[in-house]
Amino acid sequence: MDGIDISMLITITGIIGIIFNIISVGVNKKILIIFALLSNIFFATHYSLIGAYSGALSCVTISLLALIVYMYHSRGSNTPELISVFFICIFILSGVFNSNINLDGIDLLPILSTIINLYALNNKSIKVAKFYYLIICVLWIVYDLNIPIISWENITSQTLVIIFNIVTFLFPNALTQLKKKIN
């Protein structure tokens, strides 16, 4: 592939990631988990293509975690604590052994956001999960602004998720009322 094809692929994976990330702001936990999984798969590809490997690794592990949480959630049970501890250890070890970690610690932000994501995905309350996602979005924006090739797609995605989360906090029935008006 030449440079044009790669840059187009980077943009396409980022835009698909944006769409799925925005949809994940949905009104129920099942939608949040499914679209968080899909969004992270596309952003893992996006980050890999731009050489931001700590971001890609975090997105892959979040995808795996989202899949496991979804499997337990669909059965009506919680994710076992042992799995949560296992993922925290994986996140920390991936940060420690990642050879690309900067001295300023910017590559630690995806790992921190991934640990917070663990709590967001495992939390039963959609409001608490959305609050965690506000923190996660800020961490990703700071990370994206400090990597060699800035991911404007993810910055856009995280900014829109922050806006939608704030709107749904301030107006919790806004999405439901909008659906009723459309139908």
Kindly list the domain boundaries of the chain, sorted by start residue: 3-182
Residue type, position 53, single letter: Y
Q: How many CB atoms lie within 10 A of CB 52?
A: 25
Mean pLDDT of 1-23: 76
The reported pLDDT for the residue numbered 119 is 82
Interior angle at CA 96, CA 52 and CA 136, nearest 5: 55
What does the pLDDT read at residue 101? 53
Contact of 55 with 43, CB cutoff 8 Å: yes
Confidence of residue 135 (pLDDT cuts 50, 70, 90): very high
Distance CA 55, CA 77 (A): 30
Residues 3-13, mean pLDDT to the nearest whole number: 77
Instruction: Give the DSSP letter of residue 28.
Output: S
Q: Token pair 């490997």 is at which residue?
A: 53
CA distance 119 to 107: 20
CB 56 within 8 A of CB 48: yes
Quick: pLDDT tens for 25-45: 766 778 878 888 898 899 889
pLDDT tens digits, one per residue of 62-113? 888 888 888 888 888 878 878 878 877 877 776 666 555 554 677 778 778 8
pLDDT exceeds 70 at position 157: yes
Structure-model confidence comparison of residues 21 and 86, the more confident one: 86
pTM of the model: 0.75
CA distance 149 to 152: 9
10 token code pair: 């980077």
CA distances from 45 to 27, 33, 79, 90, 163 (A): 27, 19, 26, 20, 25
Per-residue pLDDT, averaged over 11-36, amounts to 78
